[in-house]
């Protein structure tokens, strides 16, 4: 579901950045009002959760692979706007440092997963959870169903973005310039895996971790459907160490994500599109329709626009893939924490500069 560089035209990428920007602005403004609370560490924690969860690939129909995102979990703990910030940070780190998702397509990936996914997951979670107690099983089902709905909504948007490319952007001979498959192929190919295995993974992950937090750190779940202001929540006991411990365990287990073979649908490199064996696998996963004989020229050109320092979560200094995967998880989580602190600093500065509600200095009588 991470759209790579080259699969979307520059104009599509610009449109998706423009579509994402208003949501980012609102999200950062809402988050900036709560920087005095324990929200920033929670954003770091659940952004890191999302980052690590997306490293666990699961096999999908047609020989492709997919992953959960942790949308139901983030919505249950953070609420929609902080979830947008958290998932956007994870996607940014993935694109810049690990080449998972394109830099040009970051706006689209954030719009699909961080923005649409967070809003839908939160909407479903709040609708189902209602005013139920934190320890209620209803909350578990709410997070699970919210995550399932959210990941499929994100997948559908990605499929549409893939599918409109060959309709709108062709060369003089009529060959596609960017993503090669039209809507009639992109939508069923993408949705087949997400309505089943990837959706099930998101369902189980979100519901399972919410159930775990109910037992170990229930205070973390007070925010998702809380009606009281955040300042009333921050003074209540909120221990996050069980969640950090679970995150550490997941990082150690990330090499299991290497067991799944096959690229995610729509994330093939130019080399894979040109490889005869890979082309057969791509065709099998795409309604038995082979990709174009030549790699789309726009895709080939834009695919090299950014070179990540640790592509495919494989730091070049480590020869052992499993160890490199674990180190990538540790590196990614560390970068997320640093990035979150940077976001906190920037929002603090912006708040001081643009806060029009601050009182005027009192006049001094001579």
The answer as to whether 363 is a domain residue is no
What is the pLDDT at residue 365?
42
Instruction: Answer whether 43's CB lies under 8 Å from 82's CB.
Output: yes
Instruction: Answer whether 286's CB lies under 8 Å from 185's CB.
Output: yes
The answer as to whether 102 is a domain residue is yes
**Reduced 3-state DSSP string for 192-242:** HHHHHHHHHHHHHHHHHHHHHHHHHCHHHHCCCCCCCCHHHHCCCCCCCHH
The answer as to whether 3 is a domain residue is no
CA 104-117-299 angle, to 5 degrees, is 25
Q: Report DSSP letters for 7-48, one per residue.
A: SS-HHHHHHHHHHHHHHHHHHHHHHHTTTTTTHHHHHHHHHH
For the entire predicted model, the pTM comes to 0.90
The answer as to whether 91 is a domain residue is yes
Instruction: Answer whether 140's CB lies under 8 Å from 210's CB.
Output: yes
The answer as to whether 117 is a domain residue is yes
Calculate the alpha carbon distances from 205 to 11, 116, 199, 319 in Å: 36, 19, 10, 31
What is the pLDDT at residue 171?
92
Q: How many domains does the chain have?
A: 1
Q: Is the pLDDT of residue 298 over 50?
A: yes
Q: What range defines the domain where residue 62 resides?
A: 10-354
For residue 319, give both structure tokens.
């020869």
Instruction: Answer whether 141's CB lies under 8 Å from 207's CB.
Output: yes
The answer as to whether 120 is a domain residue is yes
Closest C-alpha to 198, from 246, 247, 147, 160: 147
The answer as to whether 359 is a domain residue is no
Beta bridge partners of 176: 170
CA 96-317-7 angle, to 5 degrees, is 30
For residue range 218-264, what is the model confidence (pLDDT) as tens digits? 988 887 775 333 333 344 456 788 899 999 999 999 999 888 877 89
What is the pLDDT at residue 40?
82
Rounded Cα distance, 152 and 137, in Å: 23
For residue 358, give both structure tokens.
């601050």
- Per DSSP, the three-state class of 333 is helix
Beta bridge partners of 65: 59, 264
For residue range 177-216, what is the model confidence (pLDDT) as tens digits? 999 999 999 999 999 999 999 999 999 999 999 999 999 9
Least confident of 34-43, 54-63, 119-128, 316-325: 34-43
The answer as to whether 361 is a domain residue is no
Element (H, E) at 117: none
Contacts of 311 (CB under 8 A, 6+ apart): 98, 99
* Chain mean pLDDT for the chain: 89
C-beta pairs of 266-272 under 8 Å, 24+ apart in sequence: 266/3, 266/7, 266/158, 266/159, 266/162, 266/179, 266/181, 266/186, 266/189, 266/190, 267/2, 267/3, 267/4, 269/4, 269/303, 270/6, 270/295, 270/299, 270/300, 270/303
Give the CATH number for residue 155: 1.10.1760.20
């Amino acid at each position: 579901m991470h759209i790579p560089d080259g699969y979307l035209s520059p104009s599509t990428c610009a449109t998706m950045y423009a579509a994402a920007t208003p949501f980012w602005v609102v999200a950062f403004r809402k988050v900036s009002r709560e920087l005095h609370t324990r929200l920033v560490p929670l954003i770091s924690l659940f952004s890191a959760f999302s980052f690590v969860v997306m490293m666990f690939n699961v096999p999908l129909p047609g020989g492709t692979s997919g992953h959960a995102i942790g949308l139901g979990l983030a919505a249950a703990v953070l609420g929609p706007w902080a979830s947008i910030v958290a998932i956007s940070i994870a996607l940014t780190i993935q694109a810049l440092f690990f080449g998972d998702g394109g830099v040009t397509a970051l706006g689209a990936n954030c719009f699909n997963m961080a923005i649409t996914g967070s809003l839908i997951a939160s909407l479903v979670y709040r609708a189902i959870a209602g005013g139920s107690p934190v320890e209620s099983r209803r909350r578990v089902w709410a997070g699970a169903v919210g995550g399932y709905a959210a990941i499929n909504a994100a997948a559908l948007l990605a499929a549409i973005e893939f599918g409109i490319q060959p309709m709108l952007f062709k060369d003089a001979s009529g060959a596609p310039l960017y993503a090669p498959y039209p809507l009639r192929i992109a939508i069923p190919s993408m949705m087949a895996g997400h309505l089943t295995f990837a959706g099930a993974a998101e369902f189980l992950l979100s519901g399972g971790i919410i159930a775990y937090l109910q037992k170990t750190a229930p205070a973390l779940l007070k925010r998702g459907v809380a009606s009281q202001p955040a300042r009333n929540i921050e003074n209540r006991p909120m221990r996050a160490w069980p969640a950090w411990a679970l995150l550490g365990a997941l990082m150690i287990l990330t090499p299991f994500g290497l067991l799944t073979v096959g690229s995610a649908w729509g994330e093939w490199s130019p080399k894979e599109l040109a490889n005869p064996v890979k082309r057969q696998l791509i065709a099998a996963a795409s309604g038995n329709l082979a990709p174009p004989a030549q790699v789309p020229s726009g895709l080939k050109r834009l695919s090299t626009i950014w070179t990540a320092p640790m592509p495919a979560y494989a730091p070049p200094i480590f020869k052992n893939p499993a160890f490199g995967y674990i180190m990538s998880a540790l590196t990614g989580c560390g970068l997320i924490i640093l990035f979150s602190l940077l976001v906190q600093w920037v929002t603090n500065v912006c708040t001081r500069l643009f806060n029009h509600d601050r009182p005027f200095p009192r006049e001094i009588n001579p």
